[in-house]
Structure 1
Amino acid sequence: MPHPDLSRRLAPLSAVLLLSLAGCAAPAAPDTAPSTDTHGEIAGAAELAEPAVGLTSIDGDGRVSHLDLLDETTTALGTVRPPSAVHSDGRYLFAADDTGVSIVDSGVWTWDHVDHFHYYRADARLLGDVEGEGTAVVATSNSSTTGGTGLFFPGSGEAVLLDTEALSRGEVVERFRLSTSPGAGLVVPAGSFAAVAADDEVNLHDADGAEVGEPAACIQPAGTITTRVGAVIGCQDGALLISVDDDAPVVERIAYPAGTTAPRATVFANREGRPKVAAVAGDAGVWILDTRERTWTLLPTPEPVVQVTAVDDKDANLLALTPDGRVLVLDGETGAQRAASPALVGASLAAGQTVSLVADQQRAYLNGPTENRMWEIDFADDARVAREFAPERAPLFFAETGR
């Protein structure tokens, strides 16, 4: 069947901390084009009339495969070290284990030009490894050809910023590698800057690693995502939102509502680039962070959920995964249930396998390592399973690429 149109992505603060930090970087918002606008084009890439969307997966032995969602063909891309975590920006897969990060280029991507999009295909390839101690936390922007990609290695406390433009040329280049204390941390790209969250504070750096401005407090940093508005870092008392204005980064603190007792957000997810993001709030429901309005909203859910992502479309769809493996379609303004799929990944969840629920404008995708399946779900049509895929190798991790 043809793939649906994937032309995508495109109350006051409780407390605000504005740090106007002077720097020497070029003007850019986290997901805007460089000063020389190439529309995401790189040498050797073919521009397409529609997005070449696929599901790029990695099995337990590190074998990488790409399923083309247009013609349903599968291509083997090679082998990386068996990962314990995988992060993707919609083009690259960053497969992390205890000794570093292996980088896979799916070869398909979309350039968001705000009012229109450009779609590209190039050769898929394995780009190489970045060494580090401990399973890295990876943070990306919404551009796969400009800016930076952040890696934080908890075993050593090393904070690394990769040059994403160099990745688009097939080169793995570190812009900086800084030392912090071992433990939890993040390196979050924001325009021409990067925020390093460690030791209960966030320090901003230019692309060469030099510190810019004063640090901002962030107790127990965990969770990050980039929206059209800026880059988000989760903290114990709320979130920091980092944007760029007049060549300088601006940090705003978005505090949780006064008096809340719900567990904090630690994992954020949404349809790429949209301003609203979602996070599980323990048994209390779901947190919705609106980065445009700088507000948090706690939504009750009809039953406990273990994963959530905000579609943030005109119907305010919110998708959630239940402990028994069903996908719920919820009202993103009230939390009320609109639809539910059959139990698809209950066995994977019971076995402690990594299951990911990913949404674009019209479809959601889900992997079941134990079930050895991947599913395409039409969430607007009563959570109908539109397609089911049975890959040759169990998809331990996957990403929707080309979007």
Structure 2
Amino acid sequence: MTSTTRPRARYLALLGVLPLALAACSSGTEPAESTPSASTSEEPTAEETAAAPTEQATVSPRLVITYDGGLQVLDATSLEVVSDIPLDGFTRVNPAGDNRHVMVSTTGGFQVLDAGTWAEPHGDHAHYYTSEPVLTDVVYEADKPGHAVVHEGRTALFDDGTGAIAIVDSAAIAEGVSDDARQLTLPAPHHGVAVELSDGSLLVTDGTEEERSGVRVLDADGEEIAATDACPGVHGEATAADEAVVIGCEDGVVLYTDGELTKIDSPDEYGRIGNQAGSEDSEIVLGDYKSDPDAELERPTRISLIDTDSGELQLVDLPASYTFRSLARGDDGEALVLGTDGALHVIDDESGELIRSIEVMDAWEEPMDWQQPRPAIRVLEGTAYVSDPATNEIHAVDIETGEIWNSATLEVTPNEIATASGDVPHAHGEDDGAEESEEHEDHEGHDHESEGEDHEGHDHESEGHDHDHEHEHGDHDHEDE
């Protein structure tokens, strides 16, 4: 392992130097003249014309499913379709960070979808509401909307087309870019990612559309405090316990902890880790692992487990291959991998031992085109939601018992999945020990509690957001994390 730091370099000039292409607008076509919100236009907004909210007895989690032609919002308990929203083009979905909204990557940028489920704290308890889901008029403009990363109550949006980054309070995501938003533009556009930590430091990737290999860390004032160029093909991120951040490379990972960037090498000369899943309750980060640089489409059968405390990287053999939408984390830190054998493999994140394999669907084969539907997994408080495009089914799997406690067949072919827990999110800077809601939904005798997604203070999956796609060249696939 090698450690690299470089103080106060050229990235001091990033803040405010270049115009920001990421802004909010009242429509997807023309930029607003002032800092907008969902209620700034003269005409009633989509949210204002939606049905009035209904108070519920408990939290009402929902799923957002993409398909060719639109989005469907499902009740996460019954798996019934709550709303079908037509939308042209290939769409991506990522959590917005407030447990209510979802970011939809469209041709205009990151558009805010209100999943229609939320909680309002009231002293020692909360009130829960639902409404009709609606694709709002708020759009964070981006030429090529890429990774959306949620961490500690802040949401970072990365525009691959311009290198522009906007970081906003997750709780105010539906209001658009406000005066206190953090905005900067990198020297060159590339398929990148940004992560803001609780002390205001910001990790950003560095590179061009043709080549990217850099990771930079800026302090709260925009001054560079650490840097490395030893991460070829840099892609994806995941945050582990104690805010340790892992960035993927074609020959290992870069780890940021205790103010330093450290390279952890793969055991193979080419050992690509481009998609990761972290848990803020675990020091281990789950990553994929590809070792054939000449493969047109490598179907890996090994995963990587990166210990952010010791700096060690462990490879684990699996019974089957998997894809970039196969990785997730359980509430106890379990590494979850959805295999092409149709099973959900549950792995002890520390030992790498295969705990159990849960048969969920028939065996399947990864399609050559990364945009084509493939099985996907998202975790929401003890339940793994798994899609099966071959049958148009959605399955709810109890991770601890292995029971499939609900399944539903859709009238569309599901592709990507995002979740909206409808629970009370942690505010930016709020202590992790803050009181949470005590009310949870019980499904057929199982306590499948509903919490948030991706660093929202509830869900234990780092997604990465899913970040959902990785650009490789020639022999590589175009994937996401």
TM-score, structure 1 normalization: 0.71
Deviation of 1:364 (Å): 0.8
1:336 is matched with 354
Change (3 A) 1:202 1:273: same
1:234-253 to structure 2, matched below 5 A, reads 234-242=248-256, 250-253=259-262
Equivalent residue for 2:75, pick from 64, 68, 72: 68
Distance 1:167 1:373 in 2: 34
Q: Deviations over 1:65-108 (max 9, x none)?
A: 32223455532274555334322256342222454222223354
Question: What letter corresponds to residue 66 of structure 2 in structure 1?
Answer: I
1:126 to 115, 118, 135: 135
Give, in angstroms, the shift of residue 288 of structure 1.
1.0
1:193 Cα deviation from its structure 2 partner: 3.4
The letter of the residue matching 1:306 is T
Going from structure 1 to structure 2, the CA distance change for 1:377 and 1:107 (only over 3 Å counts) comes to same
Find the counterpart in structure 2 of residue 380 from structure 1: 400
* 3-state DSSP of counterpart to 2:189: coil
Q: For 2:329, give the aligned amino acid.
A: V
CA distance in 1, matches of 2:119, 2:238: 18
Q: Distance in 2 between matches of 1:211 and 1:79?
A: 44
Describe the shift of the 1:262–1:367 C-alpha distance in structure 2 as closer, same or farther (beyond 3 A). same
Q: Note the aligned Cα RMSD (angstroms).
A: 3.9
- Corresponding residue for 1:371? 391
Indicate how the Cα distance of structure 1 residues 86 and 103 shifts in structure 2: closer, same or farther if over 3 A, else same.
Answer: same
Aligned to 1:325: 342
Structure 1, residues 100-137: CA drift from partner, whole Å, max 9, x if none?
222223354699xxxx9989657654342223223x32
Structure 1 residue 266 and structure 2 residue 274: aligned? yes
Matched to 1:323, the amino acid is: T
Distance 1:280 1:235, change over 3 A: closer
| Ranges in structure 1 where 5+ consecutive residues have no aligned partner | 1-13, 24-43
Once the two structures are overlaid, the 10-residue window that deviates more, 180-189 or 69-78, is 69-78
CA–CA distance in 2 between the matches of 1:190 and 1:221? 19
1: CA distance, partners of 2:68 / 2:58: 32
* Whole-angstrom distance in 2 between the partners of 1:45 and 1:121: 6
Give the Å deviation of 1:329.
3.0
CA distance in 2, matches of 1:342, 1:165: 34
Which of 158, 167, 171 pairs up with 1:162? 167
1:187 paired with 2:194, answer yes
The Cα of 1:271 is off from its aligned counterpart by 5.3
Query: 2:284 — aligned with what?
Result: 276
The structure number with the bigger radius of gyration is 2
In the TM superposition, 1:169-248 aligns within 5 A as: 170-173=175-178, 175-191=182-198, 192-199=200-207, 200-205=213-218, 210-217=222-229, 218-230=231-243, 231-242=245-256
Q: Flag the 1:188–1:48 CA change in 2: closer, same or farther, 3 A.
A: farther
Contact kept, 8 Å, 2:320 with 2:341, in 1: the verdict is no
Give the 3-state SS of the residue equivalent to 2:151 in structure 1: coil
Q: Deviations over 1:38-73 (max 9, x none)?
A: xxxxxx9999986532212233222x3322234555
1:287 paired to 2:316: no
Aligned length: 351
Cα 1:18–1:121 change in 2 (3 A) is: farther
Deviation at 1:327, TM superposition (A): 2.3
CA distance in 2, matches of 1:47, 1:195: 40
Q: Letter of the aligned partner of 2:197 in structure 1? A: A
Structure 1 pair 125/276, CA: closer, same or farther in 2 (3 Å)? farther
Match of 1:10 in 2: none
Contact 1:53 1:70 in 2 (8 A): yes
SS of the equivalent of 1:167 reads helix
Does the C-alpha gap of structure 1 residues 165 and 185 become closer, same or farther in structure 2, counting only changes over 3 Å?
closer
